[in-house]
Structure formats: C-alpha cells, structure tokens
C-alpha cells in the first residue's frame, strides 16, 4: 500500500519540489496551499498517483480542523507531515519593522505548524508510526541583521522539534528539523513584497541551494528505516559560511 504524505505550502518552492519527488517515488499526496489554481495545476502534473488537494490557510485553526476532518478515507492514515508553509517579510531592523509583518510570520511559521502537528499527531501515535518533518532555517541558529522575528520563529521550530522527540518517546513517531541556508525559491520575492530587483540581488554571484536539493533531503530523511531518526539537518550551499563578529568601533 502506498504511503501518504501531507505537504503544506505545496504550491511553490520546497513544497512543490517535495510533491514532485514523492509522487515520482509512488507516494500518495495531500498537497496543501492557499492558491487553489496552483494546487489543481500541480495535481494534474503529478498524474499517476492519488492526490488530494486541500486549499486552506494554515494560520486559521478552524480551516485546519476542517481540512483534517475532511480528508478522504484513503488519505487519513498519514505517514509523513512536511510542515513547509512559512515565510519571511521584510528585512528592517527591529526598531522600524512592521508589527503586522511580525504577526504574519508568527501566525504562519509557528501557529500554522503547531495546528497541523497537533491535529495529525494523534493518528500517528495511535498507529505507532509516522514522521513530522519541519522545515526550519539556519536563521533559527545563526542571527543576521533584519532577521529578528523570522529567525525567532525558526528557533521556535527547532526547539519545538526537540521537545516533540521527548513527548513522542516510545511511540514510534519520528521528528526531524531541516534547516536550509541560502536557497533560491520564491522566498525572497515574498520577503521583499514582489520586488524582483531586491530578490535577485540576494542570489547574485552565488550558487544557492535549490528547491530540489531540499526535497531530496526530505525524501532521504523520510525513507530511513523505521528505527532511524534524523534529528536535525543543517545545510548550506558551499558558497555560504560565517562571518567574523561585528564590532562597533568608536573613535577615541
């Protein structure tokens, strides 16, 4: 029997690449997103495997509940949940950042992930199998100017993943946090409000990670033997590393 994977944020980037890769491997999919037209287009492209489209907003608890309760019978035994839906908005310092942007990041990156996990986890525990794969970020570990609330939300994802492992001890349910570095998707277009010039500048002169790079890691993690849990994967392109600490030097 084909395994079932639920992917949030499946309409672009990492989520779409995951859907394509897992479909190619014969999994059946629940693809989730807010853009119904994109979901339908993706479902048609994934022809050959069972696909259920779930158009809803992970930030809205009532909508998440409706999605889970409305899963068709043959999609209910979820083997893997990929909590991929997430975003960054703006790059302003904390003192000038838009509070509304912070709220959207918290609602999506934290609350949406919590809602999906809490509502699908009981079934996994009952079946004594399952896997929660969270898409975090190196921003949750390594700070950078303007990463204020976004980095904090991804730090939450990392610690929540660790605590889930503790809570799920002995249940057979696995948890993994995947933390990508610089990756070229729609991420920067969203962060800069559709400003293509600013988005392109982020990747200029570099060879960033691709959505497929991350999807392949997700697939590898999900396909380990049942007794193997990959706790955390931090991945950067070769061209990205760390800089020296910033030091404010004042004239004497």
**Where would I find the H helices in 30-112?**
36-45, 61-69, 99-105
CA 50 remoteness from chain centre: 22
Q: Active-site residue 144, yes or no?
A: no
Read off the tokens for 133: 């794969």
Q: Could you identify the residue written with the tokens 């807010």?
A: 34
* Residues 6 or more apart whose Cβ sits within 8 Å of residue 229: 165, 174, 175, 176
Query: Distance between CA 222 and CA 133 in Å, rounded?
Result: 8
Category of 205 on φ-ψ map: left (φ > 0), alpha (ψ -120 to 50) or beta: left
**Rounded to the nearest 10 degrees, what angle do helices 113-127 and 148-167 cross at?**
10
Q: Under a CB-based contact definition with an 8 Å cutoff, are residues 122 and 130 in contact?
A: no
CA–CA separation, 198 vs 30, rounded Å? Answer: 33
Which of 115, 144, 150, 203 is labelled catalytic?
A: 150
Write the CB contacts of 19 (distance below 8 Å, at least 6 apart in sequence).
7, 10, 29, 31, 42, 46
Helix axes 61-69, 113-127, angle to 10 degrees: 30
Residues annotated as catalytic are: 150
């Amino acid at each position: 029997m084909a395994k079932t994977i639920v992917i949030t944020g499946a309409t672009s980037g990492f989520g779409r690449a995951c859907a394509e890769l897992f479909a190619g491997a014969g999994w059946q999919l629940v693809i989730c997103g807010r853009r119904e037209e994109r979901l339908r287009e993706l479902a048609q492209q994934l022809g050959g495997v069972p696909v259920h489209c779930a158009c809803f907003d992970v930030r809205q608890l009532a909508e998440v509940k409706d999605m889970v309760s409305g899963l068709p019978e043959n999609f209910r035994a979820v083997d893997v949940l990929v909590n991929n839906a997430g975003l960054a908005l703006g790059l302003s310092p904390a003192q000038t950042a838009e509070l509304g942007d912070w709220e959207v990041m918290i609602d999506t990156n934290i609350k949406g992930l919590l809602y999906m996990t809490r509502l699908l986890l009981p079934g996994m525990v009952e079946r004594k199998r399952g896997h929660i794969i969270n898409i975090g970020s190196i921003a949750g570990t390594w700070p950078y100017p303007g990463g204020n609330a976004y980095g904090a939300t991804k730090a939450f994802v990392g610690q929540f993943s660790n605590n889930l492992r503790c809570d799920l001890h002995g249940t057979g349910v696995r948890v993994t946090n995947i933390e990508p570095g610089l990756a070229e998707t729609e991420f920067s277009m969203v962060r800069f409000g559709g400003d293509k010039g600013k988005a392109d500048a982020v990747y200029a002169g570099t060879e960033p990670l691709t959505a497929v790079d991350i999807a392949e890691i997700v697939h590898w993690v999900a396909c380990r033997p049942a007794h193997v849990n990959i706790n955390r994967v931090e991945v950067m392109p070769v061209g990205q590393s760390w800089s020296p600490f910033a030091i404010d030097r004042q004239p004497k």
